[in-house]
Structure 1
Amino acid sequence: LGAKSEEILVGPQHGVDVGIVEIGDKAVSFTCDPVFIVPEYGWERAAWFAIHIIASDAVTCGLKPRFLSIDLNLPMEMTKEQLEIVWDTMHQECERLGIAVICGHTARYENCHYPMVGGATIVGIGEKNEYVTPKLATTGDKIIITKGPAIEATGIFATMFPQLIEKEFGHDFSQRAQQIFYKMSVVEDAMTAVGIGIRENGVTAMHDATECGIWGGLYELAQAAGLGVKVEKERIVVEDCVEEICSYFDIDPYVSISEGTLIIA
């Protein structure tokens, strides 16, 4: 798409969340996502999750995220105090992840509404042999799935309906389920995985299980790799909170949205 460039190492394709270009002797990755803010989560939780949605896509290439450009197109009803909480949380989380904010745009506009309140791009930098992409996956690669299915669905249900969950399952269960919200990120998962080894020495491809959950993530990874995939469903670990909450709301955990679950080949 657009002008042709010999510097492109990984271009736009279905099932791949990161583009990578060659600049000098480095590989530079680019990831863009909406800025997704849900006030009902609570402002701090919503801002934490907004950063991790973007960062979780970025790390699936194996390069450490370094820089953030962010555009905030805010609803008119968002107050200064609410924005301060959101931005302070974003700043702190970027600082913790080692991501520097390098530019942006902030304004309120008529007809802008939650949850999509802008867009952002994360840039990562590494050596040219340090990134992974589904095209590097090969026949015989093993599949590892972190945390199990429906992490995001469970975390959101527990956060949005704490009284209902507590009434049905008890106080301790509700508290444990609400903590799953902060598992809705694959940054640590991905950085740990590539720290063990990449390509012929380890990880060849990674994808987060967001839309359509684990089954959707596996399909997208396999399609992008041009390979099939064999899944031993009985070996996928399901957290007890996930199983109980998905059963209560009558949803299939394996197709439920699951930011926080990383699929590794």
Structure 2
Amino acid sequence: MVKHGKPSWNTMSFLLSLLPIEDPDLVVGPRQGEDAAVLRLRDGFLVAHVDPITTGVRKAGYLAVHVAGNDIAVRGVAPRWFMPVTLIPAHYSEADVEELFRDMGAALREIGGVAIGGHTEVTPGLDRPIIAMTAIGYTNGRVISTRDAREGDHVVIIGRIGGEGAGVIAWDFEDLLLGKGVPENIIKRAKGFIYDVSIVKTALAVKDYVNTMHDATEGGVIQALREVASASGKDIIVDADAFQIEKEVEEISQRIGVNPLRLLSSGCIVASVPPGNLDALLSRLRGLGVGFSVVGHVVKGGGRVIVESKSGGRIVVDTDVVDEIYKLWNQ
């Protein structure tokens, strides 16, 4: 078992074999890379997902809503109903808990979501809050799957790479950054990235142009690419020099020795796009004012990500990626 982050898919496959997961109305169940479960319900589909916030502290409530909601949105479905399980450290004050819930409320209002239940408790042994958020949506239209990338598709990264990770680090490790010489204005701007992690509006605006979308969360863009490749049974070839990384993310990553491509990236979508839709997609993104990088293409293969550079370097990623942010919690 890994020390931090998600277990390997082989481990998860074994663990899932211990559970009943067969149901005639379960269209998409537990599978590598799939963002949410899909259940057949009357004339449409119920789409559900749960995600924990375990590496953020100051803005855990805000992140919990958007990280879970994003995984519904990349299915092409609007997230609507939310259920937080909030585990609170014993040393937290009432004001600290209130901040968590105020942040959750603000995030829900931003995307038109509502809380329909959940669970809250003070839990022994915690040094920081943990929020596991369930998000649910419903549609009678198309549901996008991670496994639908096709040979010949372009691979487009939509949104800010590593922004969530840089924001979490700026909030929770500010003293470390200052000690490493990161300018205060860079830290301040990175803190603002936390408020830009929702991809709900973007995903719903571009859903008709893509074969698949996947939210880049733990393990960053490289892990998201790996999950699309693995789920689709294809290889993805990307140009290492094509990723557009903002200077705040680059500065923070360099100073503390983390790779921004392997860093928490909620707010960033990995999409595979049919060649005939690429120009229309990019035009739509420009109209929305959303940044993007066209980084590669999908080819025949078996679930690898092949990262090539103009200097001739080549890295093959064929195992899951541990997020770089865990390096900080281990210090």
| Shorter-normalised TM range | 0.7 to 0.9
- Letter of the structure 2 residue corresponding to residue 16 of structure 1: E
Q: Deviations over 1:110-167 (max 9, x none)?
A: 33452425x331111111x321002322212211102343222322232234466568
- Letter of the structure 2 residue corresponding to residue 203 of structure 1: V
Other-structure match for 1:32: 50
Task: Report the Cα distance in structure 1 between the residues aligned to 2:156 and 2:53, rounded to whole angstroms.
Answer: 29
Other-structure match for 2:217: 210
Q: Which of 231, 255, 267 does residue 260 from structure 1 map onto?
A: 267
Q: Superposition pairs for residues 152-231 of structure 1, below 5 Å?
A: 152-162=164-174, 165=177, 168-194=181-207, 197=208, 202-231=209-238
Runs of 5+ unmatched residues, structure 1: none
Q: Does the Cα contact within 8 Å between 1:35 and 1:72 map onto a contact in 2? A: no
2:235 aligns to what SS in structure 1?
coil
Q: Does 1:149 align with 2:167?
A: no
1:81 aligns to what SS in structure 2?
helix
Other-structure match for 2:147: 135
- Letter of the structure 2 residue corresponding to residue 61 of structure 1: R
Other-structure match for 2:134: 121
Task: Report the Cα distance in structure 2 between the residues aligned to 1:170 and 1:135, rounded to whole angstroms.
Answer: 42
TM normalised by structure 2 equals 0.69
Task: Report the Cα distance in structure 1 between the residues aligned to 2:109 and 2:49, rounded to whole angstroms.
Answer: 18
Q: Does the Cα contact within 8 Å between 1:76 and 1:110 map onto a contact in 2? A: yes
Q: Superposition pairs for residues 229-248 of structure 1, below 5 Å?
A: 229-248=236-255
Q: Does 1:65 align with 2:72?
A: no
Aligned residue pairs total: 253
Q: Does the Cα contact within 8 Å between 1:150 and 1:213 map onto a contact in 2? A: yes
TM normalised by structure 1 equals 0.85
Runs of 5+ unmatched residues, structure 2: 1-18, 273-331
Q: Does 1:21 align with 2:28?
A: no
Q: 1:161 to 1:101 in 2, by over 3 A?
A: closer
Task: Report the Cα distance in structure 2 between the residues aligned to 1:210 and 1:245, rounded to whole angstroms.
Answer: 18
| Displacement of 1:169 | 4.8
Q: CA RMSD in A?
A: 2.3
Q: Deviations over 1:7-50 (max 9, x none)?
A: 121111011120101101111101012254844x2xxx332112
Q: Does 1:92 align with 2:123?
A: no
Q: Does the Cα contact within 8 Å between 1:18 and 1:60 map onto a contact in 2? A: no
Task: Report the Cα distance in structure 2 between the residues aligned to 1:159 and 1:110, rounded to whole angstroms.
Answer: 24
Q: Percent identity?
A: 25
Q: 1:104 to 1:82 in 2, by over 3 A?
A: same
2:80 aligns to what SS in structure 1?
strand
Task: Report the Cα distance in structure 1 between the residues aligned to 2:145 and 2:247, rounded to whole angstroms.
Answer: 32
Q: 1:4 to 1:172 in 2, by over 3 A?
A: closer
Q: Superposition pairs for residues 43-82 of structure 1, below 5 Å?
A: 45-82=59-96
Task: Report the Cα distance in structure 1 between the residues aligned to 2:177 and 2:86, rounded to whole angstroms.
Answer: 33
Q: Does the Cα contact within 8 Å between 2:39 and 2:46 map onto a contact in 1? A: yes
- More deviation, 16-25/75-84: 75-84
Q: 1:226 to 1:121 in 2, by over 3 A?
A: same
Task: Report the Cα distance in structure 1 between the residues aligned to 2:243 and 2:64, rounded to whole angstroms.
Answer: 27
- Letter of the structure 2 residue corresponding to residue 76 of structure 1: A
